[in-house]
Chain A
């Protein structure tokens, strides 16, 4: 059976590190708080659809909280989705089906306040969310969340893949 749904606010906030996450990213990410030190550059650049970054000081703010508990703040243009924005900024959000609603690996957990501003997920998105690891009531698929002015300042958490691993329960 899949894990039952818990609201983000009730979900335990775990800051333990997973080893792979610790060494995961390789090129300096912009606007990071705190700015982490990098070890080496990836020989395998992430694939992403080219999203244009806004000029410095412009754009809509997006905050990603990594599985390590690190907050990464980036800026994006209206109309771009959270998966492409993550990739353009070297944030490690997987997107196995490249945004075609067929994999659920781009799962993000949205801050309550912003979740309510999003349009309802489609049936197709809900179908894939049902397979997402660590589903919560404010879960969404990153590839389906499109930035708009109302979402300026949005914070999303990337679920930790390796903690509380219950993959055998995922069908």
Chain B
């Protein structure tokens, strides 16, 4: 790592408004400065480098790593990932027809090339290695393992009725998440799908169901999903929101894409939208994003489709409705419809609640996807806020401090709950990295793993080997990457994803 100046000097130059350097030189700060300037006069790495373990290789993990690597010269980062492949929801969430969003992977690849960084794929923390085994090997741990489950509706038989899935599973199926490659949704027995929820994930799954296949065929969508979608009879998708149009959670770019779908009509209750826009005009005048979203919605719903044909597809946004009962065929158990209860809004205009009116309506459908949010899972030994689906923290630092939780930080969806685009995830990753750097400055976080315990992965490698866990490093992932790209090229796809863990391991030579 090239060094142009010692950190003591840069400290003086850049710390505008901070106390003079001399007053910073308490014992703790001396240690800090010694630690920082270690790269000019390298002491034995084992005593001076700060060894950080990370769990999860999505955007939160990579952006936190980036900011630490940039700001701490003498740091070593081990990033554990449950799957043999990195990037979390950038690979397994972001829709296949949004390749631009995945450009961020180039940045992540550059981060992974840093000699101070190590990717340790195919190791699931809490399963292959416990947090309690990880903790003594690291000066700090950063948890950025995202949200690997989803919220339930709480309807009777929700999990038992065929063709009722979470959007998470459906997205995982078309995006090649090994866990869901065998989902096999039936897209042929009915022409109507219902999606519960009106967020961007709901729009993603609706778009994949309705968009032209020749466009989808040029993406990195998995071959099994493309085949099933080729045979699909789904032509109508209803998106159900428990509250009104003003509370819709999707954003303008994604709505614009839906409105632009060829030969596909948008249906919604225009008088309701207009009355809600009028009632909420004070809010809309102050909030440009929501105002623009509502205007776009109105335009999309009132623009007559010039090219409607008898074979036209459609999608609808149904507001003020909550699912209460799944209707099935008494003999085949197949899903035939959904009963909805009409709601009205109560409470403050800017954050109203949905309250049932008792009025029931039934819509026919043969596929139901619940898209009402992802959910994080707790890790043994750590506090967890199950209502908000996150680990309680202050600016990324895990609270409830005892000796176990000290030195543990969180980032990304695990830190703030399962919402936010990559930009938001990046901002909060920077915040977590800042918190860590602050703690180092305050002397609260120091290299402490002594020479008696080999720090980091080195000390855990043999344990993993004994358990039969084979590790995929970044080089091995690049082999998988190359095979995927090579398989995609002849089909005109950016890649054909490998969807089985065993096959990934075989390609990785593990």
Q: Which residue of A lies closest to B2 (CB)?
A: A41
Contact A171 B421 (CB under 8 A): yes
CB distance from B397 to the nearest CB of A (A): 13
Instruction: Tell me whether A50 is interfacial, beta carbon within 8 Å.
Output: no
| Chain A residues, Cβ within 8 Å of B290 | 1-2
| Chain A residues, Cβ within 8 Å of B256 | 123-124, 127
Contact A1 B350 (CB under 8 A): yes
Interface mask (A97-118 → B, CB under 8 Å = 1, otherwise 0): 1101111110000000000000
CB distance from A25 to the nearest CB of B (A): 8
Instruction: Tell me whether A10 is interfacial, beta carbon within 8 Å.
Output: no
Question: Which secondary structure dominates chain B's binding surface?
Answer: helix
CB distance from A28 to the nearest CB of B (A): 8
CB distance from B412 to the nearest CB of A (A): 10
Contact B114 A44 (CB under 8 A): yes
Contact A131 B3 (CB under 8 A): no
Instruction: Tell me whether A33 is interfacial, beta carbon within 8 Å.
Output: no
Instruction: Tell me whether B13 is interfacial, beta carbon within 8 Å.
Output: yes
Contact A20 B71 (CB under 8 A): yes
Contact B69 A101 (CB under 8 A): no
Instruction: Tell me whether B39 is interfacial, beta carbon within 8 Å.
Output: yes
Q: Which residue of B lies closest to A137 (CB)?
A: B288
Q: Which residue of B lies closest to A159 (CB)?
A: B427
Contact B423 A103 (CB under 8 A): yes
B426 interface neighbour in A23, A38, A128, A161, Cβ under 8 Å:
A161
Contact A47 B2 (CB under 8 A): no
Contact B253 A105 (CB under 8 A): no
Contact B251 A96 (CB under 8 A): no
**A44-B114, A104-B423, A167-B427 known; A22-B416 Cβ under 8 A:** no
* A42 to B4 CA separation, bound complex (whole angstroms): 10
* A120 to B52 CA separation, bound complex (whole angstroms): 46
Q: Which residue of B lies closest to A123 (CB)?
A: B256
* A24 to B437 CA separation, bound complex (whole angstroms): 12
* A127 to B295 CA separation, bound complex (whole angstroms): 12
Contact A47 B107 (CB under 8 A): yes
A41, A103, A127 — which one has the most chain B CB atoms within 10 A of its CB? A127
Contact A37 B10 (CB under 8 A): yes
B13 interface neighbour in A15, A37, A40, A126, Cβ under 8 Å:
A37
| Chain B residues, Cβ within 8 Å of A130 | 251-252, 288-289, 292-293
CB distance from A4 to the nearest CB of B (A): 5
| Chain A residues, Cβ within 8 Å of B441 | 19
| Chain A residues, Cβ within 8 Å of B428 | 165, 167
* A71 to B246 CA separation, bound complex (whole angstroms): 41
| Chain A residues, Cβ within 8 Å of B98 | 102
Q: How many of chain A's residues touch chain B, expressed as a range?
A: 35 or more
Contact B253 A40 (CB under 8 A): no
* A49 to B236 CA separation, bound complex (whole angstroms): 42
Which residues in window 404-432 of B have CB below 8 A to A?
Answer: 416-417, 419-428, 430-431
CB distance from A10 to the nearest CB of B (A): 14
| Chain B residues, Cβ within 8 Å of A105 | 422-423, 426
Instruction: Tell me whether A148 is interfacial, beta carbon within 8 Å.
Output: no
Instruction: Tell me whether A39 is interfacial, beta carbon within 8 Å.
Output: yes
Contact A26 B70 (CB under 8 A): yes
| Chain A residues, Cβ within 8 Å of B490 | none
Contact B106 A171 (CB under 8 A): no
* A62 to B12 CA separation, bound complex (whole angstroms): 27
CB distance from A143 to the nearest CB of B (A): 11
Instruction: Tell me whether A12 is interfacial, beta carbon within 8 Å.
Output: no
Instruction: Tell me whether B100 is interfacial, beta carbon within 8 Å.
Output: yes
A27, A97, A132 — which one has the most chain B CB atoms within 10 A of its CB? A97
Q: List 9 A-B residue pairs with CB atoms under 8 Å apart, sorted by A's residue number.
A: A27-B4, A28-B4, A37-B13, A39-B10, A40-B1, A96-B103, A127-B256, A132-B423, A165-B428
Besides A1-B350, A37-B9, A40-B1, 8 more A-B contacts (Cβ < 8 Å) are: A20-B67, A37-B12, A39-B4, A40-B10, A47-B107, A105-B422, A167-B424, A171-B200
* B interface list, Cβ under 8 A from A: 1-7, 9-10, 12-18, 39, 66-67, 69-71, 73, 98, 100-101, 103-104, 106-107, 110-111, 113-116, 199-200, 249, 251-253, 256, 283, 286-290, 292-293, 350, 395, 416-417, 419-428, 430-431, 433-434, 437-438, 441
* A interface list, Cβ under 8 A from B: 1-2, 4-5, 15-20, 22-24, 26-28, 36-45, 47, 68-69, 94, 96-98, 100-105, 123-124, 126-128, 130-133, 135, 161-162, 165, 167-168, 170-171
